Amino acid sequence: MRRIIWFSLLLLWLLLVQPAQAIVDPRQTPNNRVGIHVLEQEDLKPAAQLVNTNGDWGYVTVVIRLNDLNQEKWQAIFDEMRRRHLIPIVRLATTPENSHWVKPKSEDIDRWVEFLSSLNWVIQNRYVVLFNEPNHAKEWGNEIKPNEYAAIVKEFQAKLKAASTDWFILPAGLDTAAPNSKDTMTASEYWRQMYLTDPEVFQLFDGWNSHSYPNPGFSGPVSGTGWGSLRSYLAEINYLSRFGLPGNLPIFITETGWVNTSGDLANLYTLAFNQVWQQANLVAVTPFVLNYPQVPFKQFSWMGTSHYDAVAALPKSAGRPQQINQSQLVDHNLPDEVVTASDYRFFLEFTNTGQSIWERENFSLQITSSLQAESFFAGHLGTTEPGQSAKVDFNLKTPDSSVGAEPINLELQLSFKGQPFGEVIVKTITIVPPPEVILSAKLLFKVGGLQDQYRLLVYDSVNNLLQENLVDFNLGRSEPIKLYNLVPKQAYRLVLLKPYYLPRQTWVVLNKETNQVSFKTLLPFDFDQSGHLSLVDFWAWLLLPLNYLRFGLKLGN
């Protein structure tokens, strides 16, 4: 019995210390596998038109060099991808030297991880390809070293996963048509030597990456099978199963395609997408290359070709990749107390700290309240990109009486299609009776024939008119006036108006009970009733009936 208990505790501990697998299986949500390889930011617009016409959220493969780790530049590129609904697959590259690429160095890995982690990625899965075709000597410091590649993969994988479990790590695609020679090694032999170096190396990848070109000469038939064909990825998966590569991995074809002299490319690509690249575990196909008008890759360029138009016209899935939704409350004006029988418009300001672009159709403020649903509602979120802030109106109507009224308990949180995310705001608001004001005011002169009646206007700090009352004065004082639609203990601007008198105003912090408010003496100089004194008032005074103003003034009250 004791052994069973200890075994159970050990099993539980092992389960608890397993690192969380935060990557998302892209096959579990609607996915648009159509993609393209791009080299420049200005290519993103035609790339989106190619891969997202008749669909949404296609893929682009891009290359980031070690000498181009410019955070501002690449964040701008990622942000444009986000706007255009393009999922990046990032292939890492070192720097060219003479006719070859420098080998990756262990001492550069931390720099890579720091830079890649500094970017706000487009979706939760951060697809990273660890370099390019190292079975070509020119891609690996003019040497062919499968053991070195296996070692660099292991080190990269460990440091990336330590930084975040969102990294989706893919191997370099190999040239499966390459022979054994002084400059190249067959893909099968290269992978075999990687396995001999590290028998667990093929278990380090989250998906498989293939360069499934239609060979020979990048001009092979659609019907080709095996190594060096459009279906090379199937042969690769089958071969590598003996070396521990899981057979159910998501597959990415990050390079493929015919040279532009291969015949009817519009028909070839249509057949390939409709008949070949159809396996359920095939996530993305990004042919090489969208736009390269010069040698050495001019013959692969898609811009201005019939096959660009043909692939753009293909029916595609509307992808729905998982994005991280996150928010931070940066400001609000929710009070501790509100007044009965009042209407309020408060605001909450959130910063978008996630990956998605907030849009009115899918994002909203979710409210849980002790009040009836008709007593509150939230405004709409405007389009808000990551790093930007948005204000949301929160409208509240309070009960007519505070007698027996329970405090208002609120929980507010942003939501995406009804799923809450981000910071939860919990607030309790007490309902109190309306505060009262007793006004005191005097007239410098009293105009004969005018009633002793005034208008009181109440404004908040942003000049919204909250209340308007007709007020009678007796011996310079008013009766108590109840004020609604305001928050106790906040400052308000009270304006007192009387025809033909210049307005008087004062700022008052209103307490919950009775407030004494005094205005300066009102002056009878607003003859044009404009609310301010000017030369026009003199002419208006002359035009008024003589017995009404010029001879109708008495000493004020």
Out of 432, 453, 479, a domain closes at 432
What's residue 475's pLDDT?
Answer: 87
Q: Are 64 and 94 in contact (CB under 8 A)?
A: no
- % pLDDT > 90, the chain: 82
Whether the model clears a pTM of 0.85, i.e. scores above it, the answer is: yes
What's residue 405's pLDDT?
Answer: 78
What's residue 403's pLDDT?
Answer: 74
* Higher-scoring residue by pLDDT: 294, 206: 206
In a domain, 164, yes or no: yes
What's residue 492's pLDDT?
Answer: 97
Give the range among 142-146, 424-428, 476-480, 536-540 with minimum mean pLDDT: 536-540
| 543 band by pLDDT with thresholds 50, 70 and 90 | low
Indicate if 344 and 284 belong to the same structural domain. Answer: no
Indicate if 395 and 535 belong to the same structural domain. Answer: no
Indicate if 532 and 488 belong to the same structural domain. Answer: yes
pLDDT tens-place string over residues 129-156: 999 999 999 999 999 999 999 999 999 9
Indicate if 408 and 545 belong to the same structural domain. Answer: no
- The CATH number of whichever domain residue 399 belongs to comes to 2.60.40.10
What's residue 250's pLDDT?
Answer: 98
Indicate if 292 and 338 belong to the same structural domain. Answer: no
Please state the rounded mean pLDDT for residues 544-555.
47
In a domain, 12, yes or no: no
Indicate if 541 and 424 belong to the same structural domain. Answer: no
Indicate if 399 and 297 belong to the same structural domain. Answer: no
Indicate if 398 and 479 belong to the same structural domain. Answer: no
Please state the rounded mean pLDDT for residues 93-121.
98
What's residue 500's pLDDT?
Answer: 81
Q: Are 367 and 411 in contact (CB under 8 A)?
A: yes
* Higher-scoring residue by pLDDT: 525, 134: 134
Q: What backbone phi and psi angles, to 5 degrees, belong to 452?
A: -85, 60
Please state the rounded mean pLDDT for residues 407-417.
95
Indicate if 296 and 347 belong to the same structural domain. Answer: no
* DSSP codes, 455-510: EEEEE-TT--EEEEEEEEEETTEEPPEE--SS-TTSEEEEEEE-TTS--EEEEEE-
In a domain, 89, yes or no: yes
* Mean pLDDT, rounded, of the chain: 91
Res. 546: pLDDT tops 50? no
Out of 432, 461, 478, a domain closes at 432
In a domain, 6, yes or no: no
- Quote the CA–CA distance of 172 and 211 in Å, as a whole number: 9
Please state the rounded mean pLDDT for residues 371-393.
94
DSSP 3-state assignment of 140? coil
| Domains: count for the chain | 3
| 17 band by pLDDT with thresholds 50, 70 and 90 | very low
Q: Are 346 and 393 in contact (CB under 8 A)?
A: yes
- DSSP 8-state secondary structure symbol assigned to residue 433: P
- The CATH number of whichever domain residue 499 belongs to comes to 2.60.40.1120
Provide the domain limits for residue 156. Answer: 30-312
DSSP 3-state assignment of 167? strand
What's residue 7's pLDDT?
Answer: 40
**Cis amide leading into 296 (omega within 30):** yes
Structure tokens at 11: 């099993």
Indicate if 207 and 269 belong to the same structural domain. Answer: yes
- Quote the CA–CA distance of 76 and 532 in Å, as a whole number: 52
- The CATH number of whichever domain residue 101 belongs to comes to 3.20.20.80
In a domain, 143, yes or no: yes
- Quote the CA–CA distance of 199 and 202 in Å, as a whole number: 8
pLDDT tens-place string over residues 220-250: 999 999 999 999 999 999 999 999 999 999 9
What's residue 67's pLDDT?
Answer: 98
| 18 band by pLDDT with thresholds 50, 70 and 90 | very low
| 401 band by pLDDT with thresholds 50, 70 and 90 | confident
Please state the rounded mean pLDDT for residues 27-46.
98
Res. 186: pLDDT tops 80? yes
Indicate if 364 and 304 belong to the same structural domain. Answer: no
Please state the rounded mean pLDDT for residues 475-484.
94
Q: Are 165 and 22 in contact (CB under 8 A)?
A: yes
Indicate if 339 and 482 belong to the same structural domain. Answer: no
Res. 104: pLDDT tops 50? yes
What's residue 467's pLDDT?
Answer: 97
In a domain, 56, yes or no: yes
What's residue 1's pLDDT?
Answer: 44
In a domain, 517, yes or no: yes
DSSP H or E stretch at residue 364:
strand 363-369
In a domain, 15, yes or no: no
Please state the rounded mean pLDDT for residues 69-87.
99
**Cis amide leading into 216 (omega within 30):** yes
| 295 band by pLDDT with thresholds 50, 70 and 90 | confident
Please state the rounded mean pLDDT for residues 41-68.
99
**Residue carrying the six token digits 């499968």:** 146
What's residue 542's pLDDT?
Answer: 57
| 444 band by pLDDT with thresholds 50, 70 and 90 | confident
